[in-house]
């Protein structure tokens, strides 16, 4: 079965620290991968997506993710987090015409 797993449920960082959130997927073949962010009390917003091409994907707000096919991974990174990055982050993916599968989310708390 298709699945997406996120390594950490909670991450706490200080401002200016670097961020890496892990995501692994279990799809075969062509895969489409996403990172979404959900700020407190708000709905999901797309941070970035990978469909094909350059495996290093740049998204909004200084986030980027790297697709590593050999590791089935799509980790999210940001060199220096801000307090305003406090949110829940979801990795998601689908293959072919399948439905989108979400990871369980990582809650990021950035302390000022």
Partner 1 sequence: NAGVTQTPKFQVLKTGQSMTLQCAQDMNHEYMYWYRQDPGMGLRLIHYSVGAGITDQGEVPNGYNVSRSTTEDFPLRLLSAAPSQTSVYFCASRETSGREFFGPGTRLTVL
Positions touching partner 1 (CB under 8 A) are 9, 32, 34, 42-44, 46, 49, 51, 90, 92, 94, 97, 99-105
Rounded Cα distance between 71 and 94, Å, is: 17
Closest CB to partner 1 among 39 and 80? Answer: 39
Residues contacting residue 48 through CB under 8 Å, at least 6 positions apart: 34, 35, 57, 58, 59, 60, 63, 64, 65, 76
Q: Closest distance between partner 1 and the C-beta of residue 78, in Å?
A: 21
Q: Closest distance between partner 1 and the C-beta of residue 37, in Å?
A: 11
Rounded Cα distance between 32 and 98, Å, is: 10
Q: Closest distance between partner 1 and the C-beta of residue 32, in Å?
A: 5
């Amino acid at each position: 079965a298709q699945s997406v797993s996120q390594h950490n449920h909670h991450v706490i960082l200080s401002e200016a620290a670097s961020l890496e959130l892990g995501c692994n997927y279990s799809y075969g073949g062509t895969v489409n991968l996403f990172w979404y962010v959900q700020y407190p009390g708000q709905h999901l917003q797309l941070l970035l997506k990978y469909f094909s091409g350059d495996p290093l994907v740049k998204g909004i707000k200084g986030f980027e993710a790297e697709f590593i096919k050999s590791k089935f991974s799509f980790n999210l990174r940001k060199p220096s987090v801000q307090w305003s990055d406090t949110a829940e982050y979801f990795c998601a993916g689908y293959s072919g015409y399948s439905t989108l599968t979400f990871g369980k989310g990582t809650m990021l708390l950035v302390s000022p």
